[in-house]
Structure 1
């Protein structure tokens, strides 16, 4: 499983699942998964998460 948020160990699959369950913004994904709440505060993963939102939002 590919980790997107290294600080919190959140995987790409977990992020995609949160998007499919209604997360529409980085803040939504952050709230649902904890991604972006680690030491870097999303500095490393925010761009990737925003790209995943564009690809997987329904």
Structure 2
């Protein structure tokens, strides 16, 4: 499992799962998984999360 959000340990698989369940924005993913809520406030993972949203709609 590859981690996308290192601060919170959220994996790519978990993000794809919530996107497939209806998350359509970074904020949606953040609320559902906690990704982007760590010490960096999403500075490190936001681009990857947004890319996963786009690729898995």
| TM > 0.5 | yes
C-alpha separation in 2, matches of 1:12 and 1:22: 16
Q: Which structure 1 segments of 5+ residues have no match?
A: none
Deviation at 1:25, TM superposition (A): 0.1
2:48 aligns to what? 48
Query: Does 1:25 pair with 2:35?
Result: no
C-alpha separation in 2, matches of 1:20 and 1:26: 14
Q: TM-score w.r.t. structure 1 length?
A: 0.97
Secondary structure of the structure 1 residue equivalent to 2:27: helix
Deviation at 1:51, TM superposition (A): 0.4
Q: TM-score w.r.t. structure 2 length?
A: 0.99
CA shift digits 1:2-37 (9 cap, x unpaired): 000000000000000010010000000000000000
Q: Which structure 2 segments of 5+ residues have no match?
A: none
